Amino acid sequence: MREKELAKVISQKCIGTGVYSMWIETKAAQTAVAGQFVSVYCKDKTKLLPRPISICQIDKEKGRLRIVYRVVGEGTEEMSSYSAGDDISLIGPLGNGFMQREGKKAILIGGGIGIPPMVGLAEALKDKAEVSVVAGYRDELFLTKELENAGKLYIATEDGSTGTKGTVIDAIKEQAVGGNVIYACGPTPMLKAIKEYALANNIECQLSLEERMACGIGACLACVCQSKDKDAHSNVNNKRICKDGPVFLAEEVEL
């Protein structure tokens, strides 16, 4: 069982409109793997539930993690006010990370705020596999330098301002991006399209699901998704995204 921890903010900066990057000194860095998340508690005690934030980068040697998040409500608005030296209360690492397939040609796909986890995964796979990264944005780009350092980067934008105009699937087809295994994180419509593409092309596919969470440790059943098999915990066809995921094999879940 993970324990709540009082960690320390090392640095924070705004890297896009409403998008913030924070490095945190935390015990969670010792065991974290790409694809996991931390749950951050607000200092405002009227906000009881923690905010789940994906891990972007892991520095085990220095005992620190990087999170990149978008301000979407009062909790993340509070987080955006933190600065170096501030305490930050969190629990983690939580969930199951990506199953890293060594020696396989990897396609990493991130959409919107699902892009940050791809940075840490690309770094973890860099010396184990050939890595291609496909990143989908509405318009404004972020984390492109980090992604380019870890693999070949392809970009899709909704407005066509950079790279392929359209979706990540459009970019994969236009650029003929090939691989043996797909790792993806992003909004559900994007993940559904990726699952269909992977199944049609007989490619192994791992999906990291985005969902609003409450407890973050699998107790409350607030973040379930429909699954192919019955869950041993609830005996119904669902999976707890925070506990059983957030990463699943594509064929395990119904989107």
pLDDT tens, 98-134? 999 999 999 999 999 999 999 999 999 999 999 999 9
Helix (H) or strand (E) holding 171, with range, is: helix 168-175
In the sheet that holds 181-186, the strands lie side by side as 164-165, 152-157, 131-137, 106-111, 181-186, 204-209, 247-249
- Give burial (CB, 10 Å; 0-12/13-18/19+) of 255: middle
Please write the tens of the pLDDT for every residue from 236-253: 455 555 556 578 888 887
DSSP-assigned states of every residue in 53-99: EEEEEEETTTTEEEEEEE--SHHHHHHTT--TT-EEEEEEEESB---
Per DSSP bridges, beta strands 238-240 and 224-226 are antiparallel
Residue-level pLDDT, tens digit, the chain, 255 residues: 578 999 999 999 999 999 999 999 999 999 999 999 999 999 988 787 889 999 999 999 999 999 999 999 999 999 999 999 999 999 999 999 999 999 999 999 999 999 999 999 999 999 999 999 999 999 999 999 999 998 899 999 999 999 999 999 999 999 999 999 999 999 999 999 999 999 999 999 999 986 554 444 444 444 444 545 555 555 545 555 555 657 888 888 777
Q: In order of start, what are the domains of the chain with their CATH numbers?
A: 5-94 (2.40.30.10), 98-207 (3.40.50.80), 211-255 (2.10.240.10)
Q: Please tell me the pTM assigned to this model.
A: 0.89
